[in-house]
Structure 1
């Protein structure tokens, strides 16, 4: 192998060995992945399976069987995966595997052993529903139009956990709204356990029940334990108590609105403040936020960035555009071949819905997003006339460059989301700077290798040349996303101050403007 280097992830310990996904870097054009067993005492590495582009979720059964997931380019794990079982303790050829479920058009997620049976989630019927594999074959434990799992963006995500021979505790998401349920795998019944949280993540077994990260709409997330015998929920680890009283927190309302591909979803946060007086005859400005991924989702959990705006008299719409998870496979696949179209249409439709309801000021509409959400933001600014200002946080401007210089995991992602090189060029905002005609502020990491600074700088220069207000903040030592607390604070304050200046609003807190080229007049004057 020459100068090959090895890396291991998704480690699971059983007995004297560790099972892991191995990634080898060498002379090949991309890293090579396989599934291995490592004897702890000797360090001996045995390859159990190879030949697929990706592996995940090695799960030993305790009786000599190993379940795992595999998939190949151009799929992402939420497009199509295969679930295999291999024996590793009887001297048989470890490559003699059994295919349990999955395929190019079926996403299988999170295999777990439960009293000798294999539990997994599959979206073969359109939603990630729970299935069971035993000696008789595979059966659907519970089939309904709700999600019992999510996209495998990272190793180790846990959406459900076995708690007995035939029961699992699972996160259930119905049209983007989560709850916690107890599923009887044999009876096909889901009994409610908890519905007070706005998100449930990282479920794990405890002696008395389950622990998880609980999100709330009106207070910070925390680690809690739910005791199954009593249904009592106890905080295990909590963040410091915020200085903001709960009565000034804007709690979101789920929003469903019509768009080009059918109903779309968002969370609406209305202004709520003790310090900012908004005249009764004045509609609030609106900030539309776009999540990353783009195959991801936003939840109703407390976001201080959202509250920063609502406490200053703004409404915020956090959009789960077509392509988001939590609404079934068909909704997720709306974005296939249509990134930069469906997501943009849904954001624009959300604005039109809120304007039509008389809830926001149509002359003061801003949009903000980071990374993939930054791409949606830039595309919305370039290809619609709905938005009056925008903020791009290390947003993707050049799809071709992203496809050519990204890591193995996402290297074929745009094949599905966009298409061929011609489609990428046609939908790259950097190729349509002449259509950027409203004020934009760009936030960029100097060390960003995913979205190099020159992409933001090209669009900044085009706006400046046209005399349009534009700002560009470059942060040394930051990459694709900002990590330093002082930089995060600077970004939030500069974005708000920029929007306030553009919309003729006196910024709360006496913030100074960022360095704006072609600054607008300070006279309060709503944009036409």
Structure 2
């Protein structure tokens, strides 16, 4: 029966308060949660100040900004950064983006004082070695110019001098000092591996002069990914390993590695940035941890003796950067109706306090689509996972008998994962009557090692098959209109989009945001951290050229027969304009409907508010016109070549 309180209107035309301007205003980026005594620290982005990141501290009931402009708390170690601050004993140290110097803020506050020389030396992932008056960190030395930087673990003395403690590997992370200061643990790995393929956990003693001796391998290797080493208060080393096929927790005790809580769940994640944490010690006998099952985060207390998990009640489905101090837990949390926020929870009482929100004012819940976590059959008998967002608008409903269009999204990375945390960019579509499927295709994290490795050598195949299968599954369930299936993606997701349209005949239209059409071009522009990534995703160098040619959409533009819209930043150095232009020219010449919007002053990823507004509105208009849906008068005109008026 029709709902008399709702207006019937064609899907895609529903009036929504989640406008392109609201999406462009965006969320305040929040990161780097830290606990020190009774204080909580975190970083917040300042869009109005050119994207500067500032450090905030909550002490008692007041929040103080500790790094006024022009300080920008950020590091670019591994280019993705993270781990840019340390708070300990009332003192804060942080990396400043502009000069790469480490600054110190004393317990009394005041102007940050420089500690390091900066320049070509970048630092991240700090640890305080108080007894030796120094910080330990991962250091990246860019002084060699055009060659790749040199990564080490170094000691930064409080007099500003630096000493390399560990070198020889391509990458390092997670230096962790034992509670008595006598030992140091760390992670390392080498090309061509990415850290989610294989890392090594090392342990060494610290000599009287502060150098390391008696280094020995504790866990890990070419096919074992180890992460987040941490020391218990009593001095036992713990870590996460995927040796069982899942990132589970382990303890190293007198030369023997013991599993703590064997479970088909992920207690760790891929190392894209420094500083991620999914567990911490409440005491020697109890760990607070978060773990992922079927793409959803859980929060629990873990008894280190019995391995029993006790749930900690909370409203979140995504939990990141968990910090633990006694019973106090602080983290980044999000859920389908909760945008990312910083929360503090007492692990025993469950009492919760929200310290900061990425979006202060959310739309009424009646306009928010709550996703369903689904699994469905895909190619070769495998199962794929996704979040399905049905259309939702408290003021509107479809015309009688109308099924909504479906937009399929493949996340970037591609070794990453889609989460259910509220995103206004998704709600922009669902509140207008367009369903969304956010796919965790084979290769995504959060579903175990075997699922993650499905993308090994098959990027542009498995991800595409799972997006295609997801659209077909929903259409087969009678939830969406089979004749109005679209796919969109940016960068790596753009490759998925282009491959889906070139090699499959399921989607009726697509949108590519600075999408990768030429795989060979990626190798030329990659930074050190990702420079061998394609050997995992595509093929070893010896076979790469043939596979690149076979799988790059730029070589198969003659197979593109569906309407497409392309968005391209003219300053993009990662995926330069010619990658889009070749595809646009091919569609134009063959009479296929095509639109092409270029944006001055934008690079790889659009950051200007007016660019976000323009592209969202243009993409909406494009779909409406392609599917012959009336275009609301308040939307701008979009030139679509080869489309009959």
**Normalized against structure 1, the TM-score is what?**
0.94
**In the TM superposition, what are the counterparts of 1:63-74 in structure 2 within 5 Å?**
63-74=181-192
Aligned to 2:157: 39
- Residue equivalent to 2:135: 18
Match in the other structure for 1:402: 522
1:505 aligns to what SS in structure 2?
Answer: coil
SS for the counterpart of 1:51 is coil
Q: Summarize the Cα distance change of 1:422–1:200 in structure 2 as closer, same or farther, 3 Å threshold.
A: same
Aligned partner of 1:59 in structure 2 is 176
CA pair 386-240 structure 1, distance change in 2 beyond 3 A: closer
Q: Which residue of 2 aligns with 1:340?
A: 460
Write the distance in 1 (CA, Å) between the matches of 2:182 and 2:610. Answer: 51
Please state whether the residue corresponding to 1:59 is helix, strand or coil. strand
Looking at structure 1, the residues matched to 305 and 524 of structure 2 have their Cα atoms a distance apart, in angstroms, of: 48
How big is each residue's C-alpha offset from its partner over 1:71-126, in whole Å with a ceiling of 9 and x where there is no partner? 01111000000011122343486264111110000001111111211121100000
Matched with 1:482 is 606
Partner of 2:574: 450
Inter-partner Cα distance in structure 1 for 2:512 and 2:125:
33
2:417 aligned residue: 297
- The equivalent residue for 1:83 is 201
Instruction: Name the structure 2 match of 1:526.
Output: none
Q: 2:384 aligns to what SS in structure 1?
A: strand
Correspondence 1:182 to 2:301: yes
Distance in 2, matches of 1:98 and 1:296, equals: 31
Kept after mapping to 1: 8 A contact 2:366/2:394: no
| 2:231 is equivalent to residue 119 of structure 1 | no
Deviations 1:250-290 (A, max 9, x none): 10011110011411101111111134431131111000011
Over residues 405-437 of structure 1, what are the superposed CA-to-partner deviations in whole Å (9 max), with x where a residue is unaligned?
210111111111111221112111111111111
User: Is the alpha carbon distance of 1:279 and 1:131 closer, same or farther for their aligned partners in structure 2, counting shifts above 3 Å?
Assistant: same
SS across alignment from 1:424: helix
Please give the alpha-carbon distance, in whole angstroms, between the structure 2 residues aligned to 1:144 and 1:240: 35
How far is 1:151 from its partner? Answer: 0.6
Q: Segments of 4+ in structure 1 off by > 4 A?
A: none
Separation (CA, whole Å) in 2 of partners of 1:454 and 1:108 = 40
Q: Secondary structure at the match of 1:438?
A: coil
Residues 1:499 and 2:623 are matched in the alignment: yes
Measured in 2, the distance between the counterparts of 1:349 and 1:147 equals 25
CA distance in structure 2 between the partners assigned to 1:507 and 1:150 by the alignment: 43
The CA distance in 2 between the partners of 1:18 and 1:70, in whole Å, is 19
Aligned pairs for 1:277-288 within 5 A: 277-288=397-408
Aligned to 2:218: 100
Report the secondary structure of 1:510's partner residue.
coil
Distance 2:560 2:256 in 1: 56
Retained in 2: the 8 A contact 1:501–1:513?
A: no
Q: Equivalents in 2 of 1:99, 1:510: separation in Å?
A: 64
Alignment deviations for residues 376-423 of structure 1 (CA, whole Å, 9 cap, x no partner): 111111111111111111111111110222101111111111112211
Q: State the secondary structure of the residue aligned to 2:620.
A: helix
Deviation at 1:33, TM superposition (A): 1.1
* 1:7 shift after superposition: 2.1
Distance in 2 separating the partners of 1:322 and 1:236: 36
Number of corresponding residues? 517
Q: Distance in 2 between matches of 1:72 and 1:421?
A: 23
1:312 aligned residue: 432
> 2:586 maps to which residue?
462
What are the Cα deviations for residues 197-236 of structure 1, in whole angstroms up to 9, with x where unaligned?
A: 1200111124651011110211322111111231112211
Separation (CA, whole Å) in 2 of partners of 1:139 and 1:501: 60
Deviation at residue 504 of structure 1 after TM alignment: 1.3
- Of structures 1 and 2, the one with the larger relative CO (CA 8 A, separation 6+) is 2
- 1:354/1:360 contact within 8 Å kept: yes
Query: Quick one: distance in 2 between partners of 1:243 and 1:142?
Result: 38
Unmatched 5+ stretches in structure 2: 1-118
Asked whether 1:109 is paired with 2:224, we answer no
Q: Distance in 2 between matches of 1:396 and 1:330?
A: 26
What SS does the corresponding residue of 2:622 show, helix, strand or coil? helix
Cα distance in 1 between the residues matched to 2:631 and 2:125: 47
Q: Greater CA deviation, 201-210 or 116-125?
A: 201-210
Alpha-carbon offset, residue 239 of structure 1:
4.3
1:160 to 240, 256, 279: 279
List aligned pairs for 1:418-429, cutoff 5 A.
418-419=538-539, 420-429=544-553
Give the corresponding residue for 1:439.
563
CA RMSD of superposed structures (Å): 1.7
Contact 2:282/2:327 (8 A) holds in 1: no
Q: How far 1:241 sits from its partner (Å)? A: 4.2
Confirm whether residue 274 of structure 1 aligns to residue 394 of structure 2: yes
Q: 1:38/1:509 Cα in 2 relative to 1: closer, same or farther (>3 Å)?
A: farther
Q: 1:339 to 1:240 in 2, by over 3 A?
A: closer
Match runs of 1:351-370 below 5 Å: 351-370=471-490
Farther-moved stretch of structure 1 (13-22 vs 342-351): 13-22
3-state SS of the aligned residue for 1:142? Answer: coil
Task: Classify 1:35/1:342 alpha carbon distance in 2 versus 1 (closer, same or farther; 3 Å).
Answer: same
Q: What SS class does the counterpart of residue 344 from structure 1 fall into?
A: helix
Q: Secondary structure at the match of 2:556?
A: helix
Deviations 1:499-527, CA, capped at 9 Å, x for gaps: 11111122457312333222343xxxxxx
- TM-superposed deviation, 1:329: 0.3
What is the deviation of 1:359? 0.9
CA contact (8 A) 1:48 1:95 kept: no
Q: Which moved more, 1:425-434 or 1:500-509?
A: 500-509
Post-superposition offset of 1:183: 1.2
| Aligned-pair CA distance for 1:27 | 5.5
Relative to structure 1, the CA distance from residue 80 to residue 509 in structure 2 (aligned partners, 3 Å threshold; closer, same or farther) is farther
